[in-house]
Amino acid sequence: LSDKLDKALHVLKGHGSITEVNVAETLKEVRRALLDADVNFKIAKSFTTKVKEKALGQNVLTTLQPGQLMVKIVKDELTELMGGDAEGINLSGNPSVVLMSGLQGSGKTTFSGKLANYLKNKKTKRPLLVACDVYRPAAIDQLHVVGDQIGVEVFSDRGNSDPVAIAKAGVAHAKSNGYNVVIIDTAGRLAVDEAMMTEISNIHKAIQPQETLFVVDSMTGQDAVNTAKAFNDVLNFDGVILTKLDGDTRGGAAISIKSVVNKPIKFIGTGEKMEAIDVFYPSRMADRILGMGDVVSLVERAQEQFDEEEARKLQKKIAKNQFGFDDFLKQIQQIKKMGNMKDLIGMIPGAGKMMKGIDIDDDAFKGIEAIIHSMTPKERSNPGIINASRKKRVAKGSGTSVQEVNQLLKQFNQMSKMMKMMQGGGGKKMMQMMKN
């Protein structure tokens, strides 16, 4: 989608001159891009009509930078289409009950874990996960694996085949054990059918959740809208979770769902890891769709994961020229914790395009980590002592070549120099620049 829109907006972004003909041309391209992204036909049409009206109303043609104004109008309109300001989830109950709904494979179990982890990190919340997918033993196991991973208790009852009873027992367990949020993971089927709808509706009636969330795979395009409608008709849910918004995902679902069911999108899933969760901000999503990159989320996520104390220690070390490979290793681990590399790079404006076709995954660091692990502590803190024979030993130990070791040493040297230069507020300045 963003490629097409890029093309469509290219004419407008670049030059100062603009004619009524190419406004119309551009809007046609915008509409085609939306349709290609599985945005509902009517929505795409009314979207471009609105943009055109606004453009003409503001007399785009006579302004100094008509291209920029057009981009702004398109962006604002997209933002509004996806639902104004970000909305959080209602956690007013004690315990607050959050019910997950959606098709099989949409990402309910994964998102249940992500949400539990997200709330747990907020410190004031003590979540409990409840396993109500009783049809596959593996489903209960999966939630337990997730729970173990994030250190959140999972309530399950393998002897019980009644999801309504388990849900109730789960809420009771939360009450008597001081959990203030209960997240109920349910079963879904591959397509909407009556049995699934009856079951989710029965659970919904029995536990009366504060928040019912509909989880949908954003890669399912137009189907996502139909499924959303079916679930909303039965549950009148409170919000939408858009998963799998990583990789080459079409943004169409985000644009259509809100306008069809008139419910806010609350969170997005951007990867398989537990940290790959973000609050949904329509304006940021519009930026992303328009290829401007999601700088604000990137900065926020970086800050969240970066421990202040660590940062201070690191700065001291850099100032004293004591930055070594052990610190470097820590940095790599920090970056990895921030989530999928591809996601992160995708959030940098322009980088998505630059990196097209280049496969970056978390394994990118494997060789580097192996080399560092093969160094002695002395070598790590004082890389200067790594001579030819040491290089040979390190290469052998890490299963790499002397050339690769040399390359890493060289990069490390450059990095150390750069960090030294950035001392004294340079780094801060850069962060500030990114924010603006």
CA angle 34, 3, 255 (to 5 degrees): 30
* Cα(102)–Cα(189) distance, integer angstroms: 8
Q: Per CB under 6 A, does 326 bind ligand GDP?
A: no
Q: Per CB under 6 A, does 271 bind ligand GDP?
A: yes
Tell me how far, at minimum, the Cβ of 324 lies from ligand GDP, in Å.
35
Q: Do strands 265-269 and 239-243 pair parallel, antiparallel, or not at all (unpaired)?
A: parallel
* Cα(364)–Cα(369) distance, integer angstroms: 10
Q: Residue 435, Cβ neighbours under 10 Å: how many?
A: 10
DSSP 17-36: ---HHHHHHHHHHHHHHHHH
The amino acid at residue 316 is: K
Q: Per CB under 6 A, does 163 bind ligand GDP?
A: no
Q: Per CB under 6 A, does 270 bind ligand GDP?
A: yes
Tell whether 158 is in a known binding site: no
Stretch that binds Mg ion, among 84-92, 107-115, 235-243, 404-412 (CB under 5 A): 107-115
Q: Residue 59, Cβ neighbours under 10 Å: how many?
A: 10
* Cα(207)–Cα(368) distance, integer angstroms: 51
Local structure of 273: helix, strand or coil? coil
Nearest to ligand GDP of 44, 134 (CB atom): 134
Q: Per CB under 6 A, does 117 bind ligand GDP?
A: no
**What Å distances lie between residue 431 and 298, 333, 424, CA to CA?**
11, 20, 13
Tell whether 185 is in a known binding site: yes
Stretch that binds ligand GDP, among 12-20, 99-107, 233-241, 278-286 (CB under 6 A): 99-107
CA angle 299, 110, 280 (to 5 degrees): 40
Nearest to ligand GDP of 256, 270 (CB atom): 270
Contact (Cβ atoms closer than 8 angstroms) between residue 276 and residue 124? no
* Cα(227)–Cα(134) distance, integer angstroms: 22
**What Å distances lie between residue 335 and 55, 245, 299, 301, 432, CA to CA?**
42, 20, 12, 10, 20
Binds 48, which of ligand GDP, Mg ion, none (CB < 5 to 8 A, cut-off by type)?
A: none
Site for ligand GDP in 272-301 (CB under 6 A): 272, 276
For residue 350 the two structure tokens come to 């322009």
Binds 269, which of Mg ion, ligand GDP, none (CB < 5 to 8 A, cut-off by type)?
A: ligand GDP
Tell whether 351 is in a known binding site: no
Tell whether 198 is in a known binding site: no
User: For Mg ion, which residue of 40, 106, 109, 340 counts as binding (CB under 5 A)?
Assistant: 109
* Cα(200)–Cα(340) distance, integer angstroms: 33
User: For ligand GDP, which residue of 95, 269, 291, 346 counts as binding (CB under 6 A)?
Assistant: 269
Stretch that binds ligand GDP, among 29-37, 61-69, 233-241, 270-278 (CB under 6 A): 270-278
Q: Per CB under 6 A, does 107 bind ligand GDP?
A: yes
Nearest to ligand GDP of 276, 395 (CB atom): 276
Binds 115, which of Mg ion, ligand GDP, none (CB < 5 to 8 A, cut-off by type)?
A: none
Closest CA to 135 of 206, 195, 220, 217: 195
Tell me how far, at minimum, the Cβ of 196 lies from ligand GDP, in Å.
12
Binds 243, which of ligand GDP, Mg ion, none (CB < 5 to 8 A, cut-off by type)?
A: ligand GDP
Tell whether 103 is in a known binding site: yes
Closest CA to 42 of 33, 31, 26, 56: 31
Tell whether 189 is in a known binding site: yes
* Cα(170)–Cα(183) distance, integer angstroms: 9
Nearest to ligand GDP of 26, 106 (CB atom): 106
Contact (Cβ atoms closer than 8 angstroms) between residue 81 and residue 255? yes
Tell me how far, at minimum, the Cβ of 97 lies from Mg ion, in Å.
18
Report CA 372 to chain centroid distance, whole Å: 30
Q: Per CB under 6 A, does 109 bind ligand GDP?
A: yes
Q: Lay out the site mask for ligand GDP across 226-265 (x = CB under 6 A, - = otherwise).
A: -----------------xx-x-------------------
Site for ligand GDP in 170-209 (CB under 6 A): 188
User: For ligand GDP, which residue of 40, 96, 106, 210 counts as binding (CB under 6 A)?
Assistant: 106
Binding-site residues for GTP, please? 102-109, 185-189, 243-246
Binding region for ligand GDP (CB under 6 A): 102, 104-110, 188, 243-244, 246, 269-272, 276
Binding-site residues, please? 102-109, 185-189, 243-246
